[in-house]
Amino acid sequence: MRSSLSPDHRADLAALADRLAGPLHFDRTMRALYATDASEYQELPLAVALPKSEADLRELIAFARHRRIGLIPRTAGTSLAGQVVGSGMVVDVGRHLNKILSVDPVRHRVRVQPGVVRNELNLFLQPHGLFFTPETSTANRAMIGGMVGNNSCGANSIVYGTTREHLVSTRGFLSDGSLVTFGPLTRTEFAAKCNGPDTLESRIYRFVRDLLEKPANRKLIRDSYPKPAVTRRNTGYALDRLMECNVFDPASEKPFNLCQLLAGSEGTLFLGVEFELNCEPLPPPGVLMCAHFASVQDALKATLIAMQHRPFGCELIDRHILECTKTNLEQAKNRFFVQGDPGAVLVIEFRHADRAHLEAEMRGLEAEFRAAGLGYAFPVVWGDDCLRVWELRRAGQGIVNNVVGDAKPREIVEDAAVAVEDLPDYIAEFDALMRDKYGLSCIYYAHAGAGELHTRPLFNLKTTEGLKMFRDIATDVAALVKKYRGSLSGEHGDGRLRGEFIPFMVGADCYAMMRRVKEVFDPLTIFNPGKIIDTPPMDTSLRHSPEDGDPEYKTIFDFSATQGILRAVEKCTGVGDCRKTHLMGGTMCPSYMATRNEKDTTRARANMLRHMLTHPRDVTNPWDSEEVKGVMDLCLSCKGCKSECPSNVDLARLKAEWQQHYHDANGVPFRSRLIAGFTRTMRLASLAPTAYNWIVTAPDLSRWLKDFSGFARGRSLPRLGATTLAAWHARHANRSGSARPAGGNSGGGAECAHPGKPIGAQVPHAPAASPQFPNGRVYLFCDEFTNYNDPAIGIKAVELLNRLGYEVIIPKHVESGRAHFSKGLVRDARTFAIRNVELLRDVVSAATPLIGIEPSAILSFRDEYPDLMPPELTQAAATLAKNALLIDEFIAREIDGGRIRREDFIARDQTIKLHGHCHQKALSSLTPTLKMLELPAGHKVQVIPSGCCGMAGSFGYEAEHFALSQQIGELVLFPAVRAASEHTLIAAPGTSCRHQIKDGTARHALHPIEILHAALR
Of the candidates 107, 104, 97, which has an alpha carbon nearest to the alpha carbon of residue 73?
Answer: 97
748 pLDDT above the threshold of 70: no
Average pLDDT of the residues of the chain = 94
Report the distance separating Cα 716 and Cα 470, nearest Å.
57
Residue type, 228: P
CA dihedral 750, 753, 759, 760 (to 10 degrees): -30
Strand partners of residue 100: 112
Which whole-number Å values give the CA distances from 413 to 89, 472, 480, 547, 931, in the listed order? 28, 11, 11, 24, 47
Report the distance separating Cα 612 and Cα 165, nearest Å.
43
**Of 769 and 80, the one with more pLDDT:** 80
Q: Where are the beta strands (DSSP E) in 893-938?
A: 910-914
- For the stretch 54-109, pLDDT in tens is 999 999 999 999 999 999 999 999 999 999 999 999 999 999 999 999 999 999 99
Q: Output DSSP code: residue 200.
A: H
- For the stretch 339-383, pLDDT in tens is 999 999 999 999 999 999 999 999 999 999 999 999 999 999 999
Strand partners of residue 72: 90
Range of weakest confidence among 375-379, 751-755, 769-773, 830-834? 751-755
399 pLDDT above the threshold of 90: no
Outline where 114-264 has alpha helix (H): 118-125, 144-150, 157-160, 187-194, 200-212, 215-224, 239-242, 259-262
Assign 147 to helix, strand or coil: helix
**pLDDT value, residue 771:** 81
Question: Please, which residues have CB within 8 angstroms of residue 156's CB and are 6 or more apart in sequence?
Answer: 133, 134, 135, 312, 313, 349
**pLDDT value, residue 6:** 85
- Report phi then psi at 848, rounded to 5: -125, 80
pLDDT confidence tier of residue 928, bands split at 50, 70 and 90: very high
**Of 7 and 970, the one with more pLDDT:** 970
Question: From the CB of residue 404, how many other CB atoms can be counted at a distance below 10 Å?
Answer: 12
Assign 893 to helix, strand or coil: helix
3 pLDDT above the threshold of 70: no
User: What's the mean pLDDT in 503-508?
Assistant: 98
Report the distance separating Cα 605 and Cα 419, nearest Å.
41
CA atoms lying within 13 Å on the CB side of residue 670: 5
755 near 814, Cβ under 8 Å?
A: yes
Of the candidates 9, 3, 96, 94, which has an alpha carbon nearest to the alpha carbon of residue 43?
Answer: 3
Strands 271-278 and 286-293: unpaired
Report the distance separating Cα 130 and Cα 278, nearest Å.
10
Which whole-number Å values give the CA distances from 232 to 136, 155, 349, 441, 731, in the listed order? 13, 12, 19, 25, 73
Peptide bond into 194 cis (omega under 30): no
| Burial label, 732 (beta-carbon count in 10 A; 0-12, 13-18, 19+) | middle
pLDDT confidence tier of residue 410, bands split at 50, 70 and 90: confident
Question: From the CB of residue 54, how many other CB atoms can be counted at a distance below 10 Å?
Answer: 16
**pLDDT value, residue 618:** 67
Report the distance separating Cα 83 and Cα 656, nearest Å.
33
Q: Where are the beta strands (DSSP E) in 64-140?
A: 71-74, 89-92, 100-104, 109-112, 130-131
In degrees, to the nearest 5, what angle opens at C-alpha 94 toward C-alphas 104 and 160?
50
Question: From the CB of residue 80, how many other CB atoms can be counted at a distance below 10 Å?
Answer: 25
747 pLDDT above the threshold of 70: no
Q: How far is CA 594 from the centre of its chain?
A: 15
pLDDT confidence tier of residue 646, bands split at 50, 70 and 90: confident
Report the distance separating Cα 837 and Cα 875, nearest Å.
10
767 pLDDT above the threshold of 70: no
741 pLDDT above the threshold of 60: no
188 pLDDT above the threshold of 70: yes
Burial pattern 638-659, b for ≥16 Cβ within 10 A else e, equals bbbbbbbbbbbbbbbbbbbbbb
SS (H, E, C) 432-491: HHHHHHHCCCEEEEECHHHCCCEEEEEEECCCHHHHHHHHHHHHHHHHHHHHCCCECCCC
User: What's the mean pLDDT in 170-195?
Assistant: 97
User: What's the mean pLDDT in 321-339?
Assistant: 88
Report the distance separating Cα 987 and Cα 932, nearest Å.
12
Of the candidates 761, 718, 725, 760, which has an alpha carbon nearest to the alpha carbon of residue 743?
Answer: 725
In degrees, to the nearest 5, what angle opens at C-alpha 695 toward C-alphas 694 and 700?
115
| Burial label, 195 (beta-carbon count in 10 A; 0-12, 13-18, 19+) | exposed
Report the distance separating Cα 330 and Cα 317, nearest Å.
17
Outline where 279-326 has alpha helix (H): 296-307, 319-325
CA dihedral 903, 908, 910, 912 (to 10 degrees): -20
Report the distance separating Cα 93 and Cα 113, nearest Å.
9
- For the stretch 42-60, pLDDT in tens is 999 999 999 999 999 999 9
In degrees, to the nearest 5, what angle opens at C-alpha 845 toward C-alphas 841 and 848?
120
Question: From the CB of residue 53, how many other CB atoms can be counted at a distance below 10 Å?
Answer: 14
769 pLDDT above the threshold of 80: no
Strand partners of residue 456: 443
Report the distance separating Cα 636 and Cα 634, nearest Å.
6
- For the stretch 601-633, pLDDT in tens is 999 999 999 999 997 766 789 999 999 999 999
902 near 932, Cβ under 8 Å?
A: no
Burial pattern 967-1001, b for ≥16 Cβ within 10 A else e, equals bbbbbbbbebbeebeeebbbbbbbbbbbbbbbbbb
43 near 85, Cβ under 8 Å?
A: yes
Question: From the CB of residue 379, how many other CB atoms can be counted at a distance below 10 Å?
Answer: 15
In degrees, to the nearest 5, what angle opens at C-alpha 793 toward C-alphas 788 and 796?
130
210 near 281, Cβ under 8 Å?
A: no
User: What's the mean pLDDT in 648-669?
Assistant: 97
Give 214-220's long-range contacts (Cβ < 8 A, gap of 24+): 217/513, 218/243, 218/248, 220/507, 220/509, 220/510
Report the distance separating Cα 482 and Cα 633, nearest Å.
49
18 pLDDT above the threshold of 70: yes
- Report phi then psi at 985, rounded to 5: -85, 140
**pLDDT value, residue 751:** 35
Assign 904 to helix, strand or coil: helix
